[in-house]
Amino acid sequence: AEDGYQLWLRYAALPQAEATALSRQAGRVLLPPKAGAMAQAAADELERGIAGLSGRKPVRGSTWQGPAVVLALPGQWSALQLLDADLKALREGGYVLRTMTAGGQRVTVIGAASERGLLYGSFAWLRALQTGADVARLDQRAEPKFVWRMLNHWDNLDRTVERGYAGQSIWNWWELPDMRSTRYRDYARANASLGINGVVLNNVNSKPEVLASDWLPKVAAIAEELRPYGQKVFLSVRFSSPKELGGLPNSDPANPAVRAWWQAKVDEVYRLIPDFGGFLVKANSEGQPGPHDYGRTHAEGAAPMADALRPHGGLLVWRAFVYSEADATDRAKQAYQQFVPWDGQFASNVVVQVKNGAIDFQPREPFHPMFGAMPKTQLGMEFQITKEYLGFATHLAYLGPMYEEVLRADTHQPGGNGPATVARILDGSFYGDGRVTMMAGVANVGSERNWSGSHFDQANWYVFGRMAWDPELKSDAIAREWVQQTFSVPQPARESIVQMMQGSREAVVNYMTPLGLHHLMATSHHYGPGLWVSELARPEWNPVYYHRADKSGIGFDRSARGSQAVSQYAPAVAARWGQPATTEPELLLWFHHLPWDYKLPSGQALWPGLIAHYDLGVQQVAAMRARWAQLQGVIDPERFADVAARLKAQERDAQWWRDASIAYFQSVNGLPLPAGVKPPA
């Protein structure tokens, strides 16, 4: 039964002719003589994949005879000497795939400078087999563009998951370290297939106990499970741990006892886990403790942990998702204000992790103004995979186009080489100075049989990983790869699914937050509409704070006339978004408060134009449903039915969003429903 457990690693049988050719070409897998754990893991996966695709399990060996798939490190196979220089030149994790004749044999070489590259290369070769590459004439070379490609789990120690929609946490803390679910390995395989090399195990809203001496062996057990698949474990730690766990009078970073506590704790962690990755910290945000509690800056707050980690090669990831009620003028401005003045003051092993936009994982946000604004600080990307604000695992929304939109955006920041896109700033190519680069995604993985709560949400894990490997990859190409590996269906059906995925995020934008509206989701759970005044005391947790709709108009004025948030962008961008006429309609109400009769570029007035977007969103979901219905009998019944049920709920919810939003806005603007509104083309 297709319950989705195997994700995109199903290795469904190829058509007969291709299967026969494959088993002829890949009947043997050759491992280098001194293969370590990652090379063994690579060979295991090759065996699994070749067996599934060709119907015949290959033989494992180390002698050069007959056609084979050869795992090659420099200097290990005399027949491949000529490749050595190429292999040595590869970046950590990079690989070459090449079909060639060597030592009198026709071989498929998976070559790399290190075992990590063999692991990634093996998965890449299996992907190539399934996505129509001509494997008889293969010649590929690839390297990861980011040093760190990370998942952030928001998993609590009691196995609940903050913003998780896929069941309990996969980490069974109670049973660890003695019992180890086989899921850990399968999870690690899925990550390795994408090149993910770091996993933060627990929620950024952290508990001090995660660092307790009797908890750490559990962490060490997970590290052991993930290690053969090239992933280091990280922990989210609580800033106030020295006081709360260590019993110190305070957690002030300037207190020598606090520094000493961090050092001793970190040393203890590394005694248990010699390749421990490091810490992730959420400080002074949403009630979490932090350096501001002691009048210190984020850079000062990060120093004790960074200093403790550095001798061990550990990384400190410090989040920039900070805002407090103290300044309620514009939440969107706070992170920039709290970080940019301290550019250059973070240690060399610190990455400041910035959400893609300045509010919070909305269906659409302009790129965060910090990107490119801190040239002397290593900034990392934080995307959310789990869709807290895009209908959870119920609504189908493929996030590839959203990630792509952010990564391609041009910040117009000065001080580097070539285009200043978000991707090039983050992956270091803009600065060209060998910085520690990172892309993180808030995981959507849980203990549901299909891992992500819905089948299509697996694609969001997949696309995140692929773009963390290479931010220049295109969302539609990645969707195509994913579909081909995940569903064994003929080409027209595959293309239909890809089309459905590609349009799905824009549909959500249309029925939830069109024209730059944002954060209109109901209080705390963030699922359905809640545009009206909520009970919450904090103004910036109230949707009315964001849409500012009244009799005269709608939108958040962030121009020079309003909160001046636009001034945080480079001058060219600030000029463009500072005027309604030059702001793209997609972001109009993010930056401007406009009268209801403001004329949109489409020629329509704002009020009917807004309504048209809501209508369009509903129609787009209906069209997705119709497309999916046509695949009945083509897709296996189990997955067909699950997706169909979710699309039905999504259509109902889209109507709910439309109707609730229009009714609410009517209640403040008193305008009638325009007659005969046509959706924009």
Closest approach, Cβ 540 to ligand GCW, in A, equals 12
204 lies in the site for ligand GCW, by CB under 6 A: yes
Closest approach, Cβ 366 to ligand GCW, in A, equals 17
Closest approach, Cβ 321 to ligand GCW, in A, equals 5
324 lies in the site for ligand GCW, by CB under 6 A: no
346 lies in the site for ligand GCW, by CB under 6 A: no
361 lies in the site for ligand GCW, by CB under 6 A: yes
How far is it, in rounded angstroms, from Cα 653 to Cα 511?
9
Distances, alpha carbon 407 to alpha carbons 104, 313, 439, 475, in Å: 46, 29, 11, 11
Among 3, 139, 175, 286, which one carries the catalytic annotation?
Answer: 286
134 is catalytic: no
595, with CB counted inside 10 A (0-12, 13-18, 19+), is: middle
Token readout for 540 is 């910036």
Q: Among 64, 123, 154, 430, which residue interacts with ligand GCW (rule: CB under 6 A)?
A: 154
Q: Among 18, 44, 162, 244, which residue interacts with ligand GCW (rule: CB under 6 A)?
A: 162
Closest approach, Cβ 287 to ligand GCW, in A, equals 10
Among 2, 45, 115, 360, which one carries the catalytic annotation?
Answer: 360
Closest approach, Cβ 150 to ligand GCW, in A, equals 15
Q: At what angle do helices 37-54 and 16-25 cross, to 10 degrees?
A: 150
205 lies in the site for ligand GCW, by CB under 6 A: yes
Alpha-helical runs (H) found in 36-114: 37-54, 84-88
Q: Among 365, 388, 405, 615, which residue interacts with ligand GCW (rule: CB under 6 A)?
A: 388
**Site stretch for ligand GCW (CB under 6 A), options 238-246, 278-286, 291-299, 455-463:** 278-286
Whether 444 and 393 have beta carbons less than 8 Å apart is answered as yes
Whether 64 and 77 have beta carbons less than 8 Å apart is answered as yes
Closest approach, Cβ 515 to ligand GCW, in A, equals 22
Q: Among 115, 143, 225, 360, which residue interacts with ligand GCW (rule: CB under 6 A)?
A: 360
Decide: helix, strand or coil at residue 257: helix
20 lies in the site for ligand GCW, by CB under 6 A: no
387 lies in the site for ligand GCW, by CB under 6 A: no
Integer-rounded Cα Rg, in Å, for the chain is 26
Is the Cβ of residue 167 or residue 608 nearer to ligand GCW in the bound state? 167
* φ and ψ of 319, to 5 deg: -80, 145
The DSSP letter of residue 408 is H
**Site stretch for ligand GCW (CB under 6 A), options 126-134, 140-148, 280-288, 529-537:** 280-288
Is the Cβ of residue 285 or residue 486 nearer to ligand GCW in the bound state? 285
Is the Cβ of residue 223 or residue 335 nearer to ligand GCW in the bound state? 335
* Bridge partner list, 140: 97
How far is it, in rounded angstroms, from Cα 290 to Cα 237?
11
Query: Taken in order 324, 325, 329, 332, is the CA torsion positive or negative?
Result: positive
Closest approach, Cβ 400 to ligand GCW, in A, equals 20
Considering only residues 282-321, where is the footprint of ligand GCW by CB under 6 A?
282, 285-286, 321
Amino acid identity of residue 608, one-letter, is P
Closest approach, Cβ 225 to ligand GCW, in A, equals 25
Q: CB 88: neighbour CB atoms within 10 A? A: 12
How far is it, in rounded angstroms, from Cα 58 to Cα 68?
9
Please name which of 489, 513, 371 lies closest in space to residue 430, comparing C-alpha atoms: 371
Among 225, 252, 388, 506, which one carries the catalytic annotation?
Answer: 388
Is the Cβ of residue 4 or residue 543 nearer to ligand GCW in the bound state? 543
163 lies in the site for ligand GCW, by CB under 6 A: yes
How far is it, in rounded angstroms, from Cα 397 to Cα 384?
13
How far is it, in rounded angstroms, from Cα 356 to Cα 466?
17
Type and span of the H or E element at 30: strand 28-30
495 is catalytic: no
DSSP string, 458-512: HHHHHHHHHHHH-TTS-HHHHHHHHHHHH----HHHHHHHHHHHHHHHHHHHHHH
Is the Cβ of residue 163 or residue 480 nearer to ligand GCW in the bound state? 163
**Site stretch for ligand GCW (CB under 6 A), options 281-289, 507-515, 534-542, 624-632:** 281-289
Hey, what's the torsion of the CAs at 103, 106, 110, 115, to 10 degrees? -40
Interface residues with ligand GCW (CB under 6 A) are 154, 162-163, 204-205, 282, 285-286, 321, 360-361, 388
Residues marked as catalytic: 286, 360, 388
